[in-house]
Amino acid sequence: MKRLLARLGLGLSLLLAGCGSQQEHIVDAAAGRRAPDVAIDRDSWGLFPAGALVWGQVDIQALSRAEFGPAILERAQRGVPLSRGAGIDWAKDVETAHFAVYASARGDVATVLKGRFDAQKLRDAITADPVTSSGEPISISKFAGAEVIHAGAWSLSILTSRTIAVGTEIGVRRILERVEEGRVARALPHWFEKMLQTAGGRAHLGVDLDAQPVPATIRSELDFLAGIRGARLIGNFESPGLNIAGTLSYDTKERAEHARSRIDSNVTSLERATWLLTILKVPRPIRRFESSVAGQTVQFATELEGRAVAMGVGYLGELEGKIGLE
């Protein structure tokens, strides 16, 4: 286990360590005074309110170079409410994506894309052709002094030539309210700050469910989630494709041990289905998987075959198209 984690460069011990220093940048301004562009662009995390259930970050440039990256980014493009005449070229325009999910009836998703964007070109394209690449009509409204672009379930606001907010309408409004107030402050939980400092990570995902229990309907389908309190995942996109190290925290040691048993069983079942994957001409997806239990925490590390991940994304797209979810 230690050898694998060292090779991935992901250091699980950092995920379970104590609190680190929390960097904060604050712009004080009178109510209703928009934060200056330099403050908006300086730290994307400063645009997010505290209290999210899920925090995440992805190095889009690293993802775009992965074998499965283009397929994932192409799907992401469909959810962005921009004109098919001038959308975002993720591999060219976007550097990183930061996101958070907040508790609500449907879940408020807030994402900040950092990169280089031609705001005027994007707006002109909407005027000329107000339809997204997936065929959704585009509408525009105003909120907190900013222009908000809507299409289907998603909204977007161009904050600066370096920063775009996208997500559900309420998620984008959460960001715009902070910008309008002129108070941009980094409010990440300490444990996620610690994750971001882990060397070798190109994707980070942290979940804290202490304040929001996992719905019973999900627990009934995935029993290894029973009693779960949080999750910490760090990954990169180096050979063989997708490498992930993480921890799952439970409310008791017994539940952690049960979860590890169920996860290992699922992995074993997938390994036994190699003959079926061969018939379907799908590469063996799991190159390596290791897990252990430390108190109330399950620790694991896995290496996934890049071609298998790419094919899985493709099959998911075909399935969604057949059942009308796209």
Contact 211, 229 (CB under 8 A): no
pLDDT at 5: 40
Residue 104: which of 193, 203, 173 has the closest Cα?
173
Helix (H, G, I), strand (E, B) or coil at 109: strand
Region 174-194: mean pLDDT is 93
**Residue at 20 is within a domain:** no
**Residue at 110 is within a domain:** yes
Residue that finishes a domain, picked among 121, 153, 181: 181
Residues 6 or more apart whose CB falls under 8 angstroms from that of 74 comprise none
The distance from CA 280 to its chain's CA centroid, rounded to whole angstroms, is 30
Of 124 and 104, which is predicted with more confidence? 124
- Same domain membership, residue 245 and residue 176: no
Of 20 and 110, which is predicted with more confidence? 110
Task: Residue 220: count other Cβ atoms within 10 Å of its Cβ.
Answer: 10
Residue 165: which of 135, 152, 178 has the closest Cα?
178
**Residue at 18 is within a domain:** no
Region 32-42: mean pLDDT is 90
pLDDT of 320 strictly over 70: no
Kindly indicate the confidence band of residue 9, based on its pLDDT and cuts at 50, 70 and 90: very low
pLDDT at 78: 80
pTM of the model: 0.83
Give 244's strand partners: 235, 302
pLDDT at 10: 39
CA atoms of 223 and 246, how far apart (whole Å) = 18
- Same domain membership, residue 41 and residue 154: yes
CA atoms of 124 and 131, how far apart (whole Å) = 12
- Same domain membership, residue 164 and residue 116: yes
pLDDT at 95: 97
Specify the DSSP element, H or E, that contains 247. Answer: strand 241-250
How many domains does one find in the chain? 2
CA atoms of 56 and 70, how far apart (whole Å) = 20
Kindly indicate the confidence band of residue 17, based on its pLDDT and cuts at 50, 70 and 90: very low
Mean pLDDT (the chain, rounded) = 83
In percent, the amount of the chain with pLDDT more than 90 equals 60
- Same domain membership, residue 279 and residue 151: no
Contact 36, 28 (CB under 8 A): no
Which of 21-30, 97-106, 164-173 shows the lowest per-residue confidence on average (mean pLDDT)?
21-30
Query: What is the spatial order of strands in the sheet that 241-250 belongs to?
Result: 139-143, 146-151, 154-158, 163-167, 108-115, 94-102, 54-59, 203-208, 228-236, 241-250, 297-305, 286-294
pLDDT of 302 strictly over 50: yes
DSSP 107-164: -EEEEEEEE---HHHHHHHHHH--BBTTS-B-EEEEETTEEEEEETTEEEEE-SSSEE
Task: Residue 30: count other Cβ atoms within 10 Å of its Cβ.
Answer: 7
- Same domain membership, residue 194 and residue 172: no
pLDDT at 219: 53
- Same domain membership, residue 194 and residue 176: no
Residue that finishes a domain, picked among 134, 156, 181: 181
Specify the DSSP element, H or E, that contains 249. Answer: strand 241-250
Task: Residue 281: count other Cβ atoms within 10 Å of its Cβ.
Answer: 7
Specify the DSSP element, H or E, that contains 303. Answer: strand 297-305
Kindly indicate the confidence band of residue 134, based on its pLDDT and cuts at 50, 70 and 90: confident
Give 288's strand partners: 303
Parent domain of 305: 190-322
In percent, the amount of the chain with pLDDT more than 70 equals 80
- Same domain membership, residue 233 and residue 113: no
Contact 267, 275 (CB under 8 A): no
Helix (H, G, I), strand (E, B) or coil at 151: strand
**Residue at 5 is within a domain:** no
